[in-house]
Amino acid sequence: MAELEAATVATSHHLDEEMMPRVINVLSSLLQRVAESNDLTRRFQPQRISAFHGLTRPNITVESYLERIFKYANCSSSCYVVAYVYLDRFAQRQPSLPINSFNVHRLLITSVLVSAKFMDDIYYNNAFYGKVGGISTAEMNLLEVDFLFGLGFQLNVTPTTYNTYCSHLQREMFLQSAPLHHHLGDPLKGNLGRISTVVKQHHFCFNTEDDQSTHQQQLTV
């Protein structure tokens, strides 16, 4: 794992600690937009209920929740980009389970947990992540297993894929610093949304060719 992380970071965009608050802000903003969009489609398209769904929307915002994870998890900066990749893969592989306001928090903390275990040599256990996320250890264990199966245990992230997702985060950071550009159209339109035959259901969906060519070489934990 350490060798994979070293190879990935060495050939990828560099995210230093000073950039992380902005990365957290941008990633949470992307997730919030996706969740709110998918909330609107729930009345038109059936969505499967899973272990990630809460009975009500959490009171804590996605941004505050991710800031809390960042504050206490102490995982490497690359884990957040990899968690971003995992969330996209999960959404693509589980079209009947789109990210929405009822499941985004549990999916988020689970994706960071799994990425930290895969990328970092030292990481906190599930009980600690459960305390950070406000859920029990038993539930955290269940969410991890469900997330891994939802990904098909496809955890490897190549440098090309890492760079692609990192570039989108950096572009979003630039656009947020120049808000007038948003009126020209969503730069991730087509990537952030997948069109169904009835409604638009939003994912991240970059679908890099690099990932497609390496599906048979994915690593498992």
Number of C-alpha atoms within 13 angstroms, CB side, residue 38? Answer: 27
**Domain holding 108: CATH number?**
1.10.472.10
Provide the pLDDT for residue 52: 83
Predicted pLDDT of residue 169 = 86
Which domain range does residue 167 map to? Answer: 18-177
217 domain-assigned: no
Is residue 88 one of the residues assigned to a domain? yes
- Please give the pLDDT value at position 29: 85
State the pLDDT at residue 19: 75
Is residue 127 domain-resident? yes
In a domain, 206, yes or no: no
Total structural domains within the chain: 1
Question: What pLDDT does 42 receive?
Answer: 65
Residue with tokens 């009500």: 56
- What pLDDT is stored for residue 182 in this prediction? 44
Residue 8 covered by a domain: no
pLDDT at 94: 85
Find tokens 């992307």 and name the residue: 30
Query: Does residue 61 fall inside a structural domain?
Result: yes
| Domain-embedded: residue 193 | no
Extract the residue ranges of the chain whose pLDDT is less than 50: 1-12, 180-203, 205-221
**Are the CB atoms for 133 and 140 separated by under 8 Å?**
yes
Q: What is the pLDDT of residue 22?
A: 81
Q: How are beta strands 200-202 and 193-195 bridged, if at all?
A: antiparallel
Q: Which of 189, 171, 169 is nearest to 27 (CA)?
A: 169
Does some domain include residue 68?
yes
- CA–CA gap between residue 198 and residue 113 (Å, rounded): 34
User: Residue 196: its pLDDT value, please?
Assistant: 29
